[in-house]
Amino acid sequence: MKIDRKIVERAATLSRIEMEPENVEPMVRFFRDIIGHFKVLEKCDTTGVDPFSSLEDEPCPLRGDGPVRWDIGDEALDAAPHKEGRFFQVPAIGGEGGPDEV
């Protein structure tokens, strides 16, 4: 597989991270190095191994199926960069018509 700018830029777009032009090539080199290290895993015999087994032999506990009162809504909202009433405030998805509420 060829590791090039396109692969790095795609990962950046999916990550919602903008790469400065001067940082793309160093990231491409890093990708080549680290993915080169990943190749060694091909030597491990994983035939028949279940990848989704748990480390723990206890079953994962489930929460009760009922409403839980959460009393720190105001404090949580206070941490928001912008809020309006009981809502977080963000710009419109399409960039028009002012801020949207989510």
Partner 1 sequence: MRYELMDASSIASAVTRGEVSAVEAVSASLDRIGRLEPRLNALITVMEERALERAAYVDGQVASGCDPGPLAGVPVVVKDNMCTRGVRTTCGSRILGDWKPPYDAAVVELFEKAGAVIVGKSNMDEFAMGSSTEHSYFGPASNPRDISRVPGGSSGGSAASAAAGYVPIALGSDTGGSIRQPAAFCGVHGLKPTYGMVSRWGLVAFASSLDQIGPFGRSVGDIALAMDVISSHDPRDSTCSRRERPSFRDGASSPAVKGMRIGIVREFLEGPLDPSLKRSIEGTASVLVSSGCAIVEVSLEESASFGLPCYYIIAPAEASSNLARFDGVRYGFREEAPDLVSQFTRTRSSGFGEEVKRRILTGTFVLSSGYYDAYYLTALKVRKRICEEFDRAFRSVDVILMPVAPSLPFRKGDLLDDPISMYMSDVFTLPVNLAGLPGMTVFTGLEPSGLPTSVQLVAPRWQDRRLIECAAVIEERFGCPPVAEGGAL
Binding residues for partner 1, rule: CB under 8 A, are 7-8, 10-12, 14-18, 23, 27, 30-31, 33-34, 37-38, 40-46, 49-53, 55-56, 58, 60-61, 63, 72, 75-76, 78-82, 88, 90-95, 100, 102
Tokens for 90, please give them.
């963000």
Q: Report in angstroms how near the CB of residue 53 gets to partner 1 at its nearest.
A: 6
Query: Considering beta carbons, is residue 50 or 65 the nearer one to partner 1?
Result: 50
Q: Where are the alpha helices (DSSP H) in the chain?
A: 5-14, 21-38, 73-78
Q: Hey, what amino acid is at 78?
A: D
Q: CB burial class (10 A; 0-12, 13-18, 19+) of residue 84?
A: exposed
Shortest distance in whole angstroms from residue 100 CB to partner 1: 7
